Structure 1
Amino acid sequence: MEPAALPLASPRPERGDAARNRRHLLAMARLMIAEVGVEKVTMDGLAERAALGKGTVFRRFGTRAGIFHALLDEDEKAFQQSVLSGPPPLGPGAAPVARLIAFGRARIDFLFDHAAIARASLDTNQPIPVGVGAISQFHIRMLLNQAHVDVLDTHVLSVQLAAALEGPILLYLRTPTAADADRLRWRLADGWQKLIERTCTPLVLDTD
């Protein structure tokens, strides 16, 4: 396990009843998504399904987008934990280049699997976030350093590589069919692997 590999934030303490309500509401939201899809999940519908007052739902999440933001945050933490202590090659125990490849592939899968929830988590009154994920950048830089990549600045390189994974294009991809989405997912993952392999392969100069 690598306790310093990712800068995980400490969760804010919750009262026991508040924590139970939050877990219950998120579990009910996931059931509703599985049954009727993201688009049909509403604040009123969630309150009815969870058998809680509407005020409880509004106090907990604030807006409909807040429901999906909380779901995404929960899944992000689970993803981070799999990077910290899951089985290799995503987790510790594999060579750094193998972990870089596995991280990118897993991250692309995560973004595709959560695209609808991620879009629904955006507040229409706020600008679309375009920043590079700090956690991805931190992890990529750590693995680049472990791989002894022959570059002057692994900080800049980690920003560029993280942007290839966290760019809005991955979040807002829309394709006509599920088959097209699956093909695009594979192409992006395969492209990431080739990018990492070429980045981490020492340059051999032709001296003839």
Structure 2
Amino acid sequence: MTERKPRADATRNREAVLAAADSLFAHCERPETVTMADIAAAAGVGKATLFRGFGDRTGLIQALYAMRLAPIELAVESGPPPLGPDTPPLRRVPALLDAVLCFKLDHRHLALALEGTGGDSPYEAAHYDRWHRALRAALERIPGFGDGEFAAHALLAAARADLVEHLVGGERMTREQMRADLARFTARVLGASAVDGD
């Protein structure tokens, strides 16, 4: 049995909804104020279309997040240095963390909306698991580093959306400051291994 292709109007509606949601989250003051009704109105579709296509607000946010994150995940899984799997770990670990941070900075309110979707733990999301696995694998390739399970979680916590929002939105820290601070913090975590080289 062949898989049915989505109707052209359904595809157009999905694209319109994702574009509208993307714009609303990018320009809102607080992500929790963006409602399904707002998104439907901005996309020019009925609310029922949103619920049919995405299930609920969380499903819509997850779909938008996945769409935005896809190019970076592809680079992590099979791309060239500095993100790709063949990069020496002492270069890859900081590059992975910088990519996570830059994504959160570029999509601050969307990331905040995803991490604040009700009872859904950000640690159980598929994208978090992929970042954690990539980071842990890189850490465990560093001679003498040992088990990277906890270290990967701790390093990813430094780029959580709520922390990014606090530092950028509340403390008015610049993008350059955040990236430099995260790079220095990562170097300290890597410790002597970072000095020895790879």
Structure 1's unaligned 5+ residue stretches are 1-12, 203-208
Superposed counterparts of 1:182-201, under 5 Å? 183-196=177-190, 198-200=192-194
Structure 2 gaps of 5+ residues are none
Give the equivalent residue in structure 1 for 2:132. Answer: 137
Give the secondary-structure state (helix, strand or coil) at the position aligned to 1:70. Answer: helix
Q: Summarize the alignment of residues 99-114 of structure 1 with structure 2, pairs less than 5 Å apart.
A: 99-114=92-107
Query: Rg: which structure is higher?
Result: 1
Query: Take 2:4 and 2:191, find their aligned partners in 1: how far apart are those partners?
Result: 44
Aligned equivalents of 1:19, 1:162: Cα separation in 2: 38
The TM-score normalised by the length of structure 1 is 0.69
Q: CA deviation at 1:26?
A: 0.7
Over aligned residues, Cα RMSD in angstroms? 3.2
| Residues 16 and 43 in structure 2, CA contact (< 8 A), matched pair in contact too | yes
Residue by residue over 1:76-109, the C-alpha shift from the partner in whole angstroms, topping out at 9 and shown as x without a partner, is: 3322112134442123554332122211222222
Does 2:16 match 1:24? Answer: yes
Secondary structure of the residue that 1:118 maps to in structure 2? Answer: helix
> After the TM superposition, which residues 170-185 of structure 1 pair with which residues of structure 2 at under 5 Å, given as runs?
170-173=160-163, 174-175=166-167, 176-179=170-173, 183-185=177-179
Cα 1:112–1:145 change in 2 (3 A) is same
The residue correspondences of 1:55-204 to structure 2 (distance < 5 A) are 55-91=48-84, 94-121=87-114, 122-124=116-118, 126=119, 128-130=121-123, 133-147=128-142, 149-151=143-145, 154=146, 156-157=147-148, 159-167=149-157, 170-173=160-163, 174-175=166-167, 176-179=170-173, 183-196=177-190, 198-200=192-194
Determine the C-alpha separation between the residues in 2 that align with 1:114 and 1:184.
Answer: 15
- Residue 58 and residue 140 in structure 1: after superposition, are their counterparts in 2 closer, same or farther (change >3 A)? same
Cα 1:76–1:162 shift into 2, 3 Å: farther
What SS does the aligned partner of 2:41 have? helix
